[in-house]
């Protein structure tokens, strides 16, 4: 009596499922930041104009899978291999040779206040949370570790104020529910200037982000 054929591995109805295609793999924040770095370099080199850069950056941070990220850099040479470090990749306002850790800074105010200002090291991501309290984030004297800084903001019955130098690009959007989420966009003249992006929500609270007039980063290249 012939034995029946065993079901193929990974076939439909089989005992094991195949791995998801590469394009369907979910992306991490690090994946999005890597694409943002490539897009920034392309803007600085003149391969993308400001509108193209803005459109692709928005798509990068909204991407959920690798298949959504890949087309954003497919036509850029930096995406085809590791690019060599350059002076533009050093921390802004920091000595040459400084590292780029891209660490996350959490600023939390619950029935209280929290402030980040003065000479402080800002990484690639800042999380601001205000609950019946207030958060102030002042980047006018900060040392930037990355060219792209994402600030995630949540204001619940509280407020978050963000101030950036006037020669830094500021962009972003959020949701106000019985509150206000206001970002005053600012486009830096220098293509190498840092980009600060806000996103989040204000529920029965307020978020206000804008440039601080008269405050400028003295050395955008960090030399």
The yes-or-no verdict on residue 105 having pLDDT over 60 is yes
Dihedral class, residue 37 (left if φ above 0, else alpha if ψ from -120 to 50, else beta): alpha
The confidence score (pLDDT) of residue 86 equals 39
The yes-or-no verdict on residue 194 having pLDDT over 80 is yes
The confidence score (pLDDT) of residue 5 equals 52
CA 121-54-39 angle, to 5 degrees, is 65
User: Per DSSP, which regions of the chain are E strands?
Assistant: 104-110, 113-116, 121-122, 125-131, 134-138, 143-144, 148-156, 159-165, 169-177, 180-183, 195-203, 206-212
CA dihedral sign of residues 65, 70, 71, 73: positive
Tens of pLDDT, residue by residue over 44-70, are 677 887 678 778 877 888 889 989 999
Q: Which two tokens stand for residue 65?
A: 């899978």
Q: How far is CA 7 from CA 1, 21, 145, 158, in A?
A: 18, 21, 53, 59
The confidence score (pLDDT) of residue 181 equals 94
Among 49-58, 166-175, 199-208, the least confident range: 49-58
Of residues 23 and 73, the one with the higher pLDDT is 73
Of residues 169 and 34, the one with the higher pLDDT is 169
C-alpha 36/C-alpha 56 separation (Å) is 9
In eight-state DSSP terms, residue 132 is S
Tokens 């990974």 correspond to 10
Mean pLDDT taken over the chain: 78
Tens of pLDDT, residue by residue over 126-170, are 999 999 999 999 999 988 878 899 999 999 999 999 999 999 999
The yes-or-no verdict on residue 17 having pLDDT over 70 is no
The structure's pTM equals: 0.57
């Amino acid at each position: 009596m012939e034995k029946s054929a065993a079901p193929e591995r990974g076939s439909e109805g089989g005992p094991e499922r195949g791995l998801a295609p590469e394009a369907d793999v979910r992306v991490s924040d690090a994946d999005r930041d890597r694409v943002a770095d490539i897009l920034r370099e392309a803007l600085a080199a003149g391969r993308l104009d400001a509108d193209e850069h803005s459109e692709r950056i928005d798509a990068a941070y909204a991407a959920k899978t690798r298949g959504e990220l890949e087309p954003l850099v497919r036509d850029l040479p930096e995406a085809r291999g590791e690019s060599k470090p350059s002076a533009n990749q050093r921390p802004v306002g920091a000595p040459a040779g400084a590292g780029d850790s891209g660490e996350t800074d959490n600023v939390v105010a619950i029935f209280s206040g929290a402030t980040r200002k003065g000479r402080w090291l800002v990484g690639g991501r800042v999380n601001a949370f205000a609950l019946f309290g207030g958060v102030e984030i002042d980047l006018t004297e900060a040392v930037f570790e990355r060219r792209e800084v994402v600030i995630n903001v949540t204001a619940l019955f509280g407020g978050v104020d963000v101030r950036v130098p006037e020669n830094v690009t500021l962009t972003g959007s959020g949701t106000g529910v019985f509150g206000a989420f206001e970002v005053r966009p600012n486009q830096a003249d220098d293509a190498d200037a840092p980009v600060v992006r806000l996103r989040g929500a204000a529920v029965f609270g307020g978020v206000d982000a804008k440039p601080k007039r008269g405050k400028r980063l003295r050395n955008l290249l960090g030399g």
